[in-house]
């Protein structure tokens, strides 16, 4: 693969930051790969936030008592986000109704510039009518990304400024009924992995 010959210092710094984050998250993913949630979750990772959906403000705290799957994405994402959302939707179909009622899926758009609340709602409902799409100002999103040690970076497109891509963390957070992060499910996991994780979380 040919790589771009010019890479700015900013980009190198970003890559460094990403590498550090990857190390931190790698530990989390490794733990989750063991398929056993650590008894105390991930202290210092995650936490409450309030963002907006097409039907009003949404707080993580609204879903106490439920397991939450939290995913950072954007609607212009042609591949990774749709595949992940379709995988989660398939996983929910495998849960009995009473367990499904105890799960909330939230996608946080990291692209508030293009993702209006209505567009976001339409997008997530395509995968499952119960999915919630939320976003906020760039600062608010930045705050939530920090809480969850996730990253999202706009990649400018000189040829066509409107069609930029956004590099983003591609894993899904499993959040327990008490609001704490129980695990990270890596990109590429099959529906069975989510089913197992959700069952554990609901019983947590």
Partner 1 sequence: MNTARQTTWIVLFWAVMHAAWASDVQIQDPYVRAVPPGQRVTAAFFVAVNASTQPRAIVKAQTDTAERAELHEHIHDGGVMRMREVPRVVIPAGGRLAFEPGGYHVMLIGLKRALQPGERIDLTLVLDDGSRITVHPEVRRVQPHSGAAHQHHSTNH
Among residues 99, 191, 196, 199, which is the contact residue for partner 1, using CB under 8 A? 191
Distances (CA, A) of 155 to 119, 121, 161: 21, 24, 10
Residue nearer to partner 1 on the CB measure, 15 or 61: 15
Contact string 50-89 vs partner 1 (x = CB under 8 A)? -------------------------xxxxxx-xxxxxx-x
Residue 182's nearest CA partner among 50, 31, 73, 81 is 31
DSSP label at residue 110: S
Contact segment (CB under 8 A) with partner 1 among 40-48, 52-60, 96-104, 169-177 equals 169-177
Cβ 73 to partner 1 shortest distance, Å: 9
127 binds partner 1 (CB under 8 A): yes
Residue nearer to partner 1 on the CB measure, 39 or 158: 158
Q: H/E element holding 108? A: strand 103-109
Residue nearer to partner 1 on the CB measure, 21 or 138: 21
Contact segment (CB under 8 A) with partner 1 among 30-38, 121-129, 135-143, 175-183 equals 121-129
139 binds partner 1 (CB under 8 A): no
Residues 6+ apart with CB under 8 A from 143: 49
130 vs 143: CA distance, rounded Å: 25
Cα atoms in the Cβ-side hemisphere of radius 13 Å centred on 110: 25
Torsion of the alpha carbons at 2, 5, 8 and 10, rounded to the nearest 10: 20
130 binds partner 1 (CB under 8 A): no
Backbone angles phi, psi at 183, to 5 degrees: 180, 165
Contact residues toward partner 1 (CB under 8 A) are: 1-2, 18-19, 21-23, 25-26, 29, 75-80, 82-87, 89-91, 119, 122-123, 125-127, 151, 155, 160, 163, 165, 167-171, 186-193
């Amino acid at each position: 693969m040919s790589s771009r010959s010019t890479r700015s210092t900013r980009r190198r710094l970003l890559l460094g930051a990403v590498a550090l984050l990857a190390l931190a998250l790698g530990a989390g993913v490794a733990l989750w790969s063991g398929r056993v949630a650590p008894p105390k979750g991930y202290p210092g990772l995650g936490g409450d936030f309030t963002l907006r959906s097409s039907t009003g403000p949404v707080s993580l705290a609204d879903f106490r008592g439920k397991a939450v799957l939290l995913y950072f994405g954007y609607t212009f994402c042609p591949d990774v986000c749709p595949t992940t959302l379709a995988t989660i939707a398939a996983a929910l179909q495998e849960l009995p109704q009473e367990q499904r009622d105890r799960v909330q899926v939230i996608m946080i758009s990291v692209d508030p510039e293009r993702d209006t609340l209505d567009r976001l709602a339409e997008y997530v409902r395509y995968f499952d009518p119960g999915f919630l799409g939320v976003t906020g100002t760039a600062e608010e999103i930045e705050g939530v990304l920090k809480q969850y040690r996730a990253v999202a970076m706009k990649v400018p497109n000189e040829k066509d400024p409107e069609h930029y891509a956004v590099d983003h963390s591609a894993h899904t957070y499993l959040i327990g009924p008490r609001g704490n992060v129980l695990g990270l499910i890596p990109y590429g996991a099959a529906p069975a992995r989510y089913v197992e994780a959700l069952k554990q979380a609901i019983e947590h």
